[in-house]
Structure 1
Amino acid sequence: MNRASSVVILLVLAGLGIGATYLVQQRSAPRIATEQRAIDSRNLLDLLPADSYDNQPLDQPLRLDNVVLSNSTLLGGYLATKAGQPAGVLLRSQTVGYAGSIELLVAIGANGKLLGVKTLRQSETQGLGARIADWPNAWLGGFTGKSRNEPADNGWALKQDQGQFDQIAGATITSRAVINAIHDALRYFDEHRQQLIGDNPHE
């Protein structure tokens, strides 16, 4: 076999390999997308009570794209509905902690009250601020039921700053950043309620 024939055979084999890889990827893509969707759903929707919505919130994204607030940035959000009526929103919020950015998911009911908060990403100090990522998280759970004005604006701070909230032990900066981001999200919801969920009055 001469050199030219060998090159042709190698090119044919390479082409077949590339083609086979492409076919496998094409056939696997829907299954991978479905599995990723299920992971995203578990990760993002577990803040919402299971019986509080009947739509697929991830299919109803809110028109939020890097909305800069006083202490944080909204990266996006989703609308939950039940029987066609708004049930609440999920807002993805990013703030800056002690060691870097912290991405939170803030769930707010249609009545403006906080349904829950969880950490999606963080880079805080292990054993201190990184505890913000524990799930379930007792410290974050302490904000459930709060709203923009409950407590009043000056209450949305650490006790050592004359506010109403304890801090994560050893993580003052992380705690302040998260409190401010949660209050930002509640304030944004309150001020943009109609844009987010329509004109239903607070319950």
Structure 2
Amino acid sequence: MEKHLPYPHVVPNHTRSDKLYLFIKRIMDVMGALFGLLLLSPVFAVVAIFIKLEDPRGPVFFHQIRIGKNEKEFKMFKFRSMVSNAEDLLDQLLDQNEVSGAMFKIKNDPRITRIGRFIRKTSVDELPQLWNVLRGDMSMVGPRPPLVREVAEYTSYEKQRLLVIPGCTGLWQVSGRNSVGFKEMVELDIRYIDRRSISYDIKIILKTIRMLFGAKDAF
């Protein structure tokens, strides 16, 4: 039996104003991603060196299949913050999950490397997703893209998260991130979809920048 949460179902808006919003949002995404990749290129180089120094055999970048708008699969990129065989070790850790619902996270994940712990704490590991934004797989702001195995557990209500292009940051990240449970995350994402606008996106981006360094619940 499907669970029904208090927030009403969202009906996608296809009005002219919504099309204008999406057009402006895409321009902002492309300009933001290009500027970010150019400005942060020295950071990319330094992080790549440290990742290789700690684990020369592993790749610098890690990609994972995620679910985007309308349940379309895409490759999401990150700096590798875990040991090379992290995915193979996942089954041994599932019973230690510290996040409720269809997500998996543990604070002291033994698979995380030393440099990985730092880049996760500062969210630097997420920077390669600017490439996903440039490609159109993701936006600067939107619901975080879930894993395939997570979506397999979604109810029809929870799949409303997938009505829009996923984002690098969103209402969930600026509202508590891992201290917010899965149900609350769904509610925040649906609230964002229902209220999204250029001014709302800018507000979330600015709040994300303020939280970027020293985010205590980023793991």
Do the structures match in fold with TM over 0.5?
no
Rg larger in structure: 1
The structure that is strand-richer by fraction is 1
TM-score normalized by the length of structure 1: 0.24
* Larger helix proportion of the pair: 2
